[in-house]
Amino acid sequence: MKENQTILRAKAENPLISAFRNQQASQSSPEGRKIRVTSICRRKILNELVTEIKHPLIQHKLSLMRSKDTPTDNFRRLLREISQMLAYEVTRDLPIEFTRIETPIQTIDAPTISGKKLCVISVLRAGNGILDGMLDLLPNARVGHIGLYRNPETLEPVEYYYKVPEDIAERLVIVVDPMLATGNSAAAAIERLKRGGAKSIKFVCLLAAPEGIKVMQKAHPDVPIVTASIDQCLNEHGYIVPGLGDAGDRLFGTK
């Protein structure tokens, strides 16, 4: 146990991680903050934009999810609720047009979303936990699934399923997966979507490790990342620290 603690402390002192945490501490927006990677991270994470949502409701619910004592039903409900708020952030820049409508009082030009077609892609299986919350807010979005599992020996992704809308090239694609750990699965899923014709892609996760952000931004510097928390690091088993354990197992009660 003492040896494991030493390993975790050593990783926590990595300058890449320290730069992320220092950048976090210097920001104070209550709803979310745009982190432009600087200093050492500028060279290693390609200076891309990552959005970490620091809203008190999200952070409170996330803390409940992290607790090992939170049962499956509560974990599932909390993930759905946080996902709704993440959907709000990832769609913040959707184009708006004005449509003439009549209220009970008068006629006005009211803002409406300007016909942007959406598609939410769940990285199976844990991505379905975010998918449900997204669809609560975006009921007209089309849905696709990519099946990937992580080889426990190499930590590399292996694809076993792929089904997405045929017109994916015409849609804003929102890829969802609760954990951005090594980043290999997310990067592989996005690469598969690009080969299938997707042109406009965003990635949404619950937790992100600095190592996963680095991999994602090296592979796909054109893909924005929205997350509820940038955690400290990965441990020797590829799990996010402090994290919340295996999101899929906790979501579906399989462990």
179 is in an annotated binding site: yes
Angle between helices 127-137 and 72-90 (to 10 degrees): 60
What confidence tier does 209 reach under pLDDT thresholds 50, 70, 90? very high
185 is in an annotated binding site: yes
Q: pLDDT of 26-38, one tens digit each?
A: 444 444 444 443 3
> Which residues are annotated as catalytic?
150, 154, 246, 249
Residue 40 to residues 24, 36, 100, 130, 214, Cα–Cα distance (Å): 15, 12, 51, 32, 12
* Domains of the chain from N-terminus onward: 2-94+117-252 (3.40.50.2020)
8 is in an annotated binding site: no
Question: Region 201-226: what's the mean pLDDT?
Answer: 95
Q: How many CB atoms lie within 10 A of CB 152?
A: 8
180 is in an annotated binding site: yes
Say what the pTM is: 0.78
Alpha helices in the chain (DSSP H): 2-12, 15-25, 40-44, 56-66, 72-90, 127-137, 184-195, 210-219, 247-252
Q: pLDDT of 97-126, one tens digit each?
A: 999 999 999 999 999 988 769 999 999 989
178 is in an annotated binding site: yes
Q: pLDDT of 8-20, one tens digit each?
A: 333 344 444 454 4
